[in-house]
Amino acid sequence: MRFTKMHGAGNDYVYVDCFRQDLPSNIEQLAIAAADRHFGIGGDGLILICPSERADAEMRMYNADGSYSEMCGNGIRCVAKYMYDHGLAKKETLTIESGGNVLTLELSTNGGKVDRVRVDMGEPVLEAAQIPTRLGGKQVVEAPLECDGNLYRVTAVSMGNPHCVIFVAHASDDLVFGVGPQIEHDPAFPNRVNVEFVEQISRTQLRQRTWERGSGETLACGTGASAVCVAGVLTGRTERCVEIDLLGGRLELEWNETDNHVYMTGPAVEVFSGEWFPAGE
Ligand SMILES: N[C@@H](CCC[C@H](N)C(=O)O)C(=O)O
């Protein structure tokens, strides 16, 4: 299987070009094996770049535990870069389908290759039932959630995939590795959930660590940063345009007041490509 390793702000995936080779079988097992940092290629998961009838391409995203996700913010920027740099669509505006939605991306080039991408992430979903979460109320803004005898104030947002945002004084290892996995599996989130721990620096600057559904802590989460931008506004903490520092880099976010869409801008980097021979294939 030929692959390309790419990352967006350190959130790294194994990318497979399914325009030029057949869709692999046993994708969930393949994702687990490919993501393994010791016995595989290594990454936060697997992303298939596939033909689409509705857009320039379709992104199909699998976490390191093999589970499917509807959307990946850092991944979709890398898919756009791959499409442009590898000659699949030499256009500075691209459409990419993911989880049934078609997103529009604006590409910036440097030396003939894409280095930054602005993604129209669409409208955030705030209705509890659609996120989905069983936490009470129509919307879940600073709702109490108990974990290990401690009470957390959580805001739930879907950016195509579910997020639980918690503003904290210090996004410590204890929170990320202790509380993160417990909330991921809390019955309040029937499809599991990605968990963001966020420190507020000012009304326009935030720091974020993410415990991702199906992959554990990653160096960045683009849908998570989008959810954080929305949660900052909903809780009255931040302006609509924010810069978010993640462990692997910075993302710029805007929740636009006019069209209600979230816009995310950040880097996309190709690291290497190669051929992999998964066991049993
Ligand atoms: N890192 C991604 C999100 C990947 C999917 C997520 N773990 C989920 O299961 O929803 C991003 O940049 O958005």
* Residue 213 annotated as part of some ligand binding site: yes
Tokens 């602005």 belong to which residue?
118
Ligand 1 near 193 CB (within 6 A): no
Confidence of residue 281 (pLDDT cuts 50, 70, 90): low
238 lines ligand 1 (CB under 6 A): no
The residues, any chain, with a CB within 8 Å of residue 121's CB and separated by 6 or more, are: 73, 103, 159, 160, 223, 226, 261, 262, 263, 264
At 130 the three-state DSSP class reads helix
Closest-lying ligand 1 atom to the alpha carbon of residue 159 = 13
Helix, strand or coil, per DSSP, at residue 201: coil
pLDDT digits (tens, 9 = 90+) for 149-163: 999 999 999 999 999
Q: Which of 135-139, 193-197, 265-269 has the lowest mean pLDDT?
A: 135-139
Q: How far is the CA of 196 from the centre of ligand 1 (A)?
A: 11
Mean pLDDT for all residues in the chain:
97
SS3 category, 241: strand
Other CB atoms within a 10 A radius of the CB of residue 187 amount to 6
Positions annotated as catalytic residues are 72, 221
Distance between CA atoms of 146 and 75, rounded to whole angstroms?
Answer: 32
For ligand 1, atom 1, the nearest C-alpha belongs to 221
Report whether residue 213 contacts ligand 1, using a CB cutoff of 6 Å: yes
Query: Which pLDDT tens digit goes with each residue over 21-64?
Result: 998 789 999 999 999 999 999 999 999 999 999 999 999 999 99
Amino acid found at 110: N
CB 249 within 8 A of CB 267: yes
64-92 pLDDT tens trace: 999 999 999 999 999 999 999 999 999 99
**Model-level ipTM above the cut of 0.95:** yes
Predicted TM-score of the model (pTM): 0.98
Q: What angle do CA 69, 238, 102 make, to 5 degrees?
A: 30
Structure tokens at 88: 């699949």
Interhelix angle for 222-234 vs 73-85, to 10°?
A: 130
- Tell me the CA–centroid distance for residue 213 and ligand 1, in Å: 7
What the chain holds in terms of domains, given with CATH numbers, is 2-120+267-275 (3.10.310.10), 128-260 (3.10.310.10)
Nearest to 7 by CA among 88, 87, 97, 117: 117
Closest CA to 89 of 74, 79, 102, 101: 79
Contact 163, 199 (CB under 8 A): no
Does the pLDDT of residue 280 top 80, yes or no?
no
Measured in Å, residue 88 CA sits from the centre of ligand 1 at 24
Provide the phi-psi class of 236: left if phi over 0, else alpha when psi is between -120 and 50, else beta.
Answer: left
Sorted by sequence, the CB contacts under 8 Å of residue 93 that are 6+ apart come out as 104, 105, 106, 107
Looking up tokens 């969930």 gives 28
Distance from C-alpha of 190 to C-alpha of 49, rounded to nearest angstrom: 28
Work out the angle at residue 76's Cα, subtended by the Cα atoms of residues 141 and 212, and round it to the nearest 5 degrees: 45
SS percent in the chain: helix, strand, coil, step 5? 20, 45, 40
On whether 212 is known to bind a ligand per the annotation, the reply is: yes
Q: Quick: pLDDT tens for 104-137.
A: 999 999 999 999 999 999 999 999 999 999 997 8
Type and span of the H or E element at 75: helix 73-85
Is 254 known to sit in a ligand binding site?
no
